[in-house]
Structure 1
Amino acid sequence: MPVVSYVIAGSESTGGAGLQADLRTFAQRGVYGVGTITCIVSFDPKAQWAHRFVPIDPSVIADQIEAATTAHDPDVVKIGMLGTPDTISTVAQALRVKSWRHVVVDPVLICKGQEPGAALDTDNALRAEILPQATVVTPNLFEARTLAGMESIESVDDLGEAARRIGALGPRYVVVKGGVGLAGPDAVDVVFDGSEVTVLRSPKVGDERVSGAGCVFAAATTAELAKGADVLDAVQTAKEFTHAGIVGRIASAAPFDAVCVPAGQ
């Protein structure tokens, strides 16, 4: 019987990130993907590709979660973009009433289509209601600085310190992704398991961020956990998979490339 992976996240209409990238990653990692949409993000080509952000009504999100979890009874879930405090409360409640083997949180803290005040409320709600329920949280540098309350992250030691601080918020494992943001030839990530920090490295592929890399990384981690891998092995596999997707990136008329893992990877 196929392994099921579940994702609760936003839709991104160019296909490079969000639920589209998550479900594509699940398929490429050999699991059956089920998804619940929390919001719709559509870039506006007529306004320099600015974000247009539309939240889904919380009752509709709850309906989707009920249907997905009743039909398939998944025990591993990825949480992506939630977008509003009401959405966070709805998803947090759904997480609390079901027994999960793993909850992977990709903490998308802000969308450029949100007002700053609303974004701050969302950040605070995520800290309070979602992170304590996480097995693994996978912040990028901006998200890690915000969650850890650090002014800057400029070294591998800083990555480790950020991971420790975020770990104090409740997640069992913290993966802080250095990406292209740290100086040096390697994209460096750290994994904090509550006591030790493990450093993972891979060569950088250019100096520009690629759309969907964080989504793909967290989704691949989720898929591997669903198949029974332990957390560190799942994260290492996800890093290799995402690196291949950055190498195989796909261009479009949008002013950014997107992760694209070649078939068979």
Structure 2
Amino acid sequence: MSTIAYVIAGSEATGGAGLQADLKTFERLGVYGVGTITCIVSFDPKSNWGHRFVPVASQVIADQIEAATSAHSLDVVKIGMLGTPDTVSTVASSLALQPWRHVVVDPVLICKGQEPGAALDTDNALRTEILPLATVITPNLFEAQTLSGMDTLDTVDDLGEAARRIADLGPKYVVVKGGVGLAGDEAIDVVFDGQDVTVLRAPKIGDERVSGAGCVFAAAITAELAKGASVLDAVSTAKDFAHAGIVGRITTNAPFTAVGWRDRA
């Protein structure tokens, strides 16, 4: 029987992030992927590649989750972009209908393409309704700063402190990603397991942000957890996998590069 992982996330039309990147990651890691679309994001090439954001109706999301969980025995899920308070509530209510072995949350906060007030409402709903369900949450620097309430995250110790504060919101494990935003030659992530902080390091591959890297990282954690790995082992494997994707990144006509695996046939 195939190992199955589930993702609830937005569609990203260029293929470099969102549900498209998640399902590709699952496949490359030997896991059968099932996905539910929460919103559609398409960059606008006529307007400086800004975000165009279209939410999927709540009932349609609920219907997708009902179909996916009825057809498959799903117990490991990744939550990506939700986008509206109604979507957050729909997903939280649907997840509550069955037990989950692991819930991985990639906390997409302020949604580009939304009015600031609506985006803040979504952020607050995510904190109260989704974060307490999480086995693992994977905030980047901006998300970690926002969730922790810290003014700055400049050092590895700052990342660890942010992780501890975010754990107070409910997640069992917090992975704060330093990425290219932390000074130095290394891409540093910290993992807080409720007691101890583990530091993961890899050489930086340039200083540009790579579209989809966070999606791929969280999806790889999800795939490894679906296969039975421990959380720390899953995070370590995911870091190596995402690092390889950044090394093999692809150039697009948009003003960003995307995760790729051209060197990993």
C-alpha RMSD of matched pairs (Å): 0.8
Counterpart secondary structure, 2:10: strand
CA deviation after TM superposition for structure 1 residue 262, in Å = 3.6
Q: Distance in 2 between matches of 1:184 and 1:230?
A: 29
Counterpart secondary structure, 1:238: helix
Q: How does 1:42-61 map to 2 (within 5 A)?
A: 42-61=42-61
Q: Distance in 2 between matches of 1:107 and 1:222?
A: 14
Q: Distance in 2 between matches of 1:73 and 1:251?
A: 38
Structure 2, gaps ≥5 residues long: none
Confirm whether residue 137 of structure 1 aligns to residue 172 of structure 2: no
Which amino acid is the alignment partner of residue 235 of structure 2? V
Q: Where does residue 108 of structure 2 map in the other structure?
A: 108
Q: Do 2:102 and 2:225's aligned partners in 1 also have CA atoms closer than 8 Å?
A: yes
Counterpart secondary structure, 1:47: coil
Structure 1, gaps ≥5 residues long: none
Q: Where does residue 124 of structure 1 map in the other structure?
A: 124
Moved over 4 A (4+): none
Q: Distance in 1 between matches of 2:146 and 2:157?
A: 17
Q: Do 2:248 and 2:263's aligned partners in 1 also have CA atoms closer than 8 Å?
A: no
Confirm whether residue 243 of structure 1 aligns to residue 243 of structure 2: yes
Counterpart secondary structure, 1:46: coil
Q: Where does residue 82 of structure 1 map in the other structure?
A: 82
Which amino acid is the alignment partner of residue 32 of structure 1? Y
Q: Do 1:187 and 1:204's aligned partners in 2 also have CA atoms closer than 8 Å?
A: yes
Q: Distance in 2 between matches of 1:229 and 1:262?
A: 26
Q: Distance in 2 between matches of 1:221 and 1:87?
A: 23
Q: Distance in 2 between matches of 1:67 and 1:76?
A: 16
TM-score, normalised relative to structure 2: 0.99
Counterpart secondary structure, 2:210: coil
- CA deviation vs aligned residue, 1:231-250 (integer Å, no higher than 9, x gap): 00000000000000000001
Which amino acid is the alignment partner of residue 154 of structure 1? D
Which amino acid is the alignment partner of residue 206 of structure 1? G
- CA deviation vs aligned residue, 1:125-178 (integer Å, no higher than 9, x gap): 000000000000000000000000111100000000000000000000000000
Q: Do 1:160 and 1:197's aligned partners in 2 also have CA atoms closer than 8 Å?
A: yes
The alignment covers a number of residue pairs equal to: 265
CA deviation after TM superposition for structure 1 residue 180, in Å = 0.4
- CA deviation vs aligned residue, 1:33-58 (integer Å, no higher than 9, x gap): 00000000000000000000000000
Counterpart secondary structure, 2:21: helix
The share of aligned pairs that are identical, in percent, is: 77
Which amino acid is the alignment partner of residue 62 of structure 2? A
